[in-house]
Structure formats: structure tokens, C-alpha cells
Amino acid sequence: MTAVLRAEGVSRSVGPLPIVVDVSLEVAASEWVSLVGPSGCGKTTLLMLLGLLDTPDRGSVWLDGEAVAGWSAAARARARLSRIGFVFQTQNLFDHLSARDNVALPAWRACGSRPEALRAADALLERFGLTHRAATRADRLSTGEAQRTAIARALVNRPKLVFADEPTGSLDSANTALVLDALAEVTAGGAALLVATHDAGVAARGRPLMMKDGRLAEPTRGAP
């Protein structure tokens, strides 16, 4: 089966400094892969490269078997909107918008219909136990609610590939459990999930890939 995400020899330097070095990996549909390593090892930089937010200096990335190397900026933006979901490390909801509008916004952009986008948002908020917070401004949500809202937003266009960068980094154990359940729903729905984390408990939920000094340490091919 074609991997949802494949990378071969991906490298990225900042000036003379190598940040990501010769990374090859595959993530299959319904698979949870955990990118594990200490702070500063290059996890965020790698997710940006794989999520089409940055371009490697060397190496190639394929989405569903399609090489992204030749894509225009517009094609990359389209793929980020409709094929990829991203849960960022730092809170990046629109503070002045409600939870519901934050979740609906990418769907509205993709499908052009606000009512349809709001229906999709409501369904996700309900799935994540957030219906009672739907009308709440994002800056009034608790950290755990905001993170689940961010996951709902990442899923609203039904992407086949989802990235999450330290999704539980700032949460207590109760909220961590809720966010992990929400992430498990991502793969249960058939999407591929790549989670960067330095939390061993989070890492254990998926197939771990160990990262150190910009490199993956383990054999990295294929599903377990």
C-alpha cells in the first residue's frame, strides 16, 4: 500500500548548521508514528519540512505517492488546507473568534459554504466534548480545551495526514489523557498521524522513531 507520507534523505541546514540530517521515513494510513527526542534535536523543523511549511535543502517528500518537489506555492497551500492537518506546539487559535469559528474557518475556506463549515465544526466539537464551549472565545478556553479545539480544527477538512507538535507539552495529566484520546480518533478515522514529543507516555501510543542531533536513530522503513 502507498504510504500517506514518505520522506527520503530529507536534510535542512540553517546557515552552516545542520538541523535535520538525511531523514527517511514512512507513515501509513491509520498509523500513529511518534517522533521522539530531546528538546532541540530537530523535531519541529522536521515536521515543518514534512508538512510543506518549509522546503528541504536535500531529499524528497511524497504525499500519497506524489512527489511534492515540483509543486507551486499555491499547490502546496492547497495541500496544507485540505490534505494535511497541523496541531502546532504553541497555541495558535484566533483569540477573538469562538471555538466554533476557529474550527469552521479552514472548512469555510476549503468548501466555500459557511453553513456547511459550521456543521462540520459542530460535529467535531461534539466528538471532543466541547459543545458547551462552542461559543466561547478562544482566549477564554482552558489550555486543554484550546488544544482539543486545535485538534478539531486540524481535522475539519478530513485530512489524510495529521501532524501534532508536542500536543501535550503544557497539559496536566487529565487533559493529556483527553488530548491523547482525541489524537487516537485521528488514526481511528483512517488518517496517518505523526506526533513529535519528548514525553515517553505519549510516544508509547505509536510506533516510535528516535531522533537525535537531527537524525533518526532507528530503522525507519514501513509499518510494524
Ligand X SMILES: Nc1ncnc2c1ncn2[C@@H]1O[C@H](COP(=O)(O)OP(=O)(O)O)[C@@H](O)[C@H]1O
Rule CB under 6 A: which residues touch ligand X?
A: 14, 19, 37, 39-45
Question: Which of 218-221's residues contact partners 24+ apart within 8 Å by CB, and which partners?
Answer: 220/23, 220/24, 220/25, 220/26, 221/24, 221/25, 221/26
Reduced to 3 states (helix: H, G, I; strand: E, B; else coil), residue 158 is coil
Strands (E) across 108-221 are located at: 161-165, 192-197, 207-212, 215-216
Reduced to 3 states (helix: H, G, I; strand: E, B; else coil), residue 216 is strand
Judged by beta carbon distances under 5 to 8 A according to partner kind, the member of Mg ion, ligand X, none in contact with residue 19 is ligand X
Stretch that binds Mg ion, among 6-14, 44-52, 72-80, 202-210 (CB under 5 A): 44-52
Instruction: Single out the residue of 44, 147, 157, 197 in contact with Mg ion (rule: CB under 5 A).
Output: 44
Nearer to Mg ion, 44 or 157 (CB): 44
For the CB of residue 162, give the shortest distance to ligand X in the complex, in Å.
Answer: 17
Judged by beta carbon distances under 5 to 8 A according to partner kind, the member of ligand X, Mg ion, none in contact with residue 123 is none
Judged by beta carbon distances under 5 to 8 A according to partner kind, the member of ligand X, Mg ion, none in contact with residue 176 is none
Nearer to ligand X, 54 or 66 (CB): 54
Joined together, the cell numbers standing for residue 194 give 505523526
Total Cβ atoms within 10 A of residue 69? 11
Is residue 45 near Mg ion by the rule CB under 5 A? Answer: no
Q: In the complex, which residues of this chain contact Mg ion (CB under 5 A)?
A: 43-44
